[in-house]
Every structure is written in C-alpha cells, then in structure tokens.
Structure 1
Amino acid sequence: MIKAILFDYDDTLVQTRKTRYNTIYKLSEELFKTKITEKEIDAAWGLPAEEFLLKLFGRFSSDIHYLWSIYIEFSKKDLNIPHLNAFDFIDKYKNFVKFGIVTSSSEKVVIRELNELEVDTNLFLQIQTSDHTAVHKPNPNVFEPIYGLLKNKNISKNEVIYIGDSPADYESADGFGFHFLGIAHDDRHLSYFQTGEIPFVRNFLELEEYLINQYGFL
C-alpha cells in the first residue's frame, strides 16, 4: 500500500527546463554579453542550486549572492509552467496520502514559484530543497531528512514512491529503498527508462492509472 508520494520538482511537476533555459539565454546575453549554449546548460542541469549557478556563470563572477540576485531577477520575468494535471492530482488525493517534494533546487526559488502558481504549499508534508541536506541526488541519503518525517507518521520505505524524470531520481530512490516511477514528459530520458526496464508514465493521467492498477491506490 502506498501511503506517501514524493515528487522531484523540476521537469516533473513543472516545466523548468523549457522555462529556465530561456531565462539563462537572456541573462547571459543581456548581462554578460555572451551566448551560452544548450550543451553548457545541460552539463549544469540537476546540480545543487549554487553549484549550478557557479558552473554556468562562475567565469564571470564568483559572488554567489550576486549570481542569485540576478538569476532571481531574470527568472521572475519567466513564470514557470506546471505540467498538465500535476497539482490537480495532488489536490485530489491530499486527504488520502502524504505528499512531499525532494529537489536539488533552492528553497527560495521553489517556494516563490509555487506561490506565483498559487499552489498551496500546505499540500506537502515537506518541500525538501538543496538547503535541507548536504548530499544530493543520485546519493540515496538525500532522502534521510524527509524520511525522518515519514517515519514519525508510521510510514515505512515500502509504502513510499518517488516520482521523477531523470536517472538520478531513479538511482537515489532505488538505492534508498523507495518504489520509483519515472515520468517522461518528453523523450529526453525515455531510452534510459526503457532499456533499464524502469516503470514510467508519460503524464499525470497515466500516473494516476498506474498507481491504481499497480498498487491498488485508493
């Protein structure tokens, strides 16, 4: 029986890659007068928040507070976009299971975006960001903080499923002992899930159907 559903945030619940690549392109051109490539962003994507900014812009400034301020300033101009039915699904089942988020993104970014999207953060038992742990995916120990809260609710590892879009999401969840379900909104990591025979869905309607069929969800 599944009693808790944990989500990755970027590219799982919201369309961060699509939104933030545009933000980074504009920031690079307008402030640093350079054209950053998609390959460069790909190489930094998924890193903890501060490492991400330093990898992208560290050659222009090592002042992380400055980099944060300009990144946030530019990102406010590009509102993130939820994946279809993502938060409707959570709202629908909020009284039946515990929900949480485990992400490598910064708390200041995630909370701001959820507020902009008018998502009630109280839907989540915990929104665990890069600020809450010294380790990050694919290290399985990334789940220790949020699992401490789940244990206090008498929820065991085999009653938890983590849903994410990337290999690091799978490796960390599987290593920790959680169930895992991939969500391939696009084809970026589709072959990884397919060749590894890792269960995945393409959207939140399929996700709901999968949970009902596989785990007798509700």
Structure 2
Amino acid sequence: MIDTVIFDFDGTLANTNKMIINSFKHIYTEFLQKNCSEEYIMSTFGEPLELTLTRDFEAFSFEDVIACYRDYQKDRFNEEVTLYETVEDTLNYLKGKSIKLGIATSRLRSSTVSALETFNIAKYFDVVVSADDVTKHKPDKEPLVKAINELGSTTESTLYVGDSRFDMECALNALVTPILVGWQLNSNDLAQKYKIKHVLEKMWDLTNLIQ
C-alpha cells in the first residue's frame, strides 16, 4: 500500500526550464564567450548545480559564476516559472488522503524553500531534502533514502515522481517505484530506457495510483 509520495522539484512540480536555460546561456556568454546548446543544458537537469558549474567553469571562481547565475534569475522567477497543470490540486488531494509528502531535489535548500513559499505549496510537504542535506547526490539513492527515513516510511510504500534520468536512477537505486512525468521532450525515451511503468500526462494522474 502506497502511503508516501516524494517529488523532484524542477521540471516535475514547476516549469523552471525557461529560466534555467536562459541562466546557463547567460553565464556561458559572460565567462566563456560562447553559446551553449539547449540540448546540453537540458541534459544536466537533475544534476546538482554546483557540480555542473564546477565542471564547466573550472577555470573560474565558483563563487563568481554562481553569483552571476543567481543575479540573472533575480526578478525573473515570478515571470518565467509556473507550476505544472493540476499540481496544487493533486497535492491537496493527496494531503487529504493522509499521504506523506516530501521533496528530494538537487536544488539548494534556500532556493527550494523560497520557491515552495512563492507558490504557497510548502504547507503540503512534511520533509524537504535538498543538495545541502546530503553527501551523495542523485542518481545516488541517498537523497531519497534520507527523505523516506525522515518521513518514517519504507521503500516499498513510496513513489518517487521525477522528470530526469537522475530521478529515475535515484528511485531505482533506492528500490522505490519510479513515476515519470510525461511533459518533457525526452520523456518517451526515458520511459523506454528505464522501463518505467507509470508515466503521467498531468500530475492529477498520480491520484489513480493511490488506492
């Protein structure tokens, strides 16, 4: 019996694609004086930002790069980021069914909490595990296992909802049932590669898996 649902944030609960892509393009131009393809940027979705920036901008100060990235996003969040269709209705329904809800994300805690509060959905979640809270990041199982333990749940009773290969691998590594959202360009490829049984057309479809 499923009594716990844990979510990724970016690309799963909220459409942050436009803002992230534009932010990466900005810092590539500022520091490397070159363009960066959207395909490459999207391939890093789900990876901790620090890891991506440290790798791609190794010749520069990480503090300078991350500051530029964050400065670009100032005042753009409310304009460029939205919740996906039926997300809040689904969270409200699950909470009403006494389902334990959590977040396991590669975002930093401060930005995750700020985003949840901006959309007024922080009230639905019993635990938030962010990049700050773990030593090993997705696709390692640590973020998901930490969230499950803090919720007092079990892997057998938990669903993990995500949009990237990092999410699917994290769920499989933790022996948790992976749920793939179907609104990203590579969703079909991911579903086939990881043999994902449940692919959501909209978040409300998740309610059909909770009996």
- TM-based fold match above 0.5: yes
- Residues 69-108 of structure 1: pairs in structure 2 closer than 5 A: 69-79=67-77, 80-95=81-96, 96-108=98-110
CA distance in 1, matches of 2:204, 2:38: 30
Q: Which has the larger displacement, 141-150 or 127-136?
A: 141-150
Check the 8 A contact 2:180/2:187 in 1, yes or no.
no
> Which amino acid is the alignment partner of residue 107 of structure 2?
S
Aligned to 1:17: 17
Could you say which residue in structure 2 is the equivalent of 1:171? 169
The aligned amino acid for 1:114 is L
**Alignment partner of 1:194 is 2:195:** no
Gaps of 5+ in 2: none
Residue 7 of structure 1 corresponds to 7
2:48 match: 48
Q: Identity over aligned residues, as a percent?
A: 23
Unaligned runs of at least 5 residues, structure 1: none
| Paired positions, count | 206
CA contact (8 A) 1:44 1:56 kept: no
What is the SS of the residue equivalent to 2:180? strand
Q: Does 1:158 align with 2:159?
A: no
1:112 is matched with which residue?
114
State the shift of 1:165 in Å: 1.2
CA distance in 2, matches of 1:100, 1:190: 25
The answer on whether the counterparts of 2:27 and 2:69 sit within 8 Å (CA) in structure 1 is yes
RMSD: 2.2
One-letter amino acid of the counterpart of residue 201, structure 2:
R
Give me the TM-score of the superposition, normalised by structure 2: 0.85
Contact 2:90 2:206 in 1 (8 A): no
Whole-Å separation in 2 of the counterparts to 1:31 and 1:136 = 26
Report which stretch shifted further, 32-41 or 48-57: 32-41
Q: Once the 2 structures are TM-superposed, how far is the Cα of residue 121 of structure 1 from its aligned partner?
A: 1.7
Give per-residue Cα distances to partners, 1:57-92, cap 9 Å, x unaligned: 444x22x33323222221123222211111221123
Q: Distance in 1 between matches of 2:34 and 2:117?
A: 32
1:28-85 superposed Cα distances (whole Å, 9 cap, x missing partner): 44676543332442454332121122234444x22x3332322222112322221111
- Structure 1 length normalisation: TM-score? 0.83
Q: Secondary structure of 2:159's partner?
A: strand
Residue in 2 that maps onto 1:206: 205
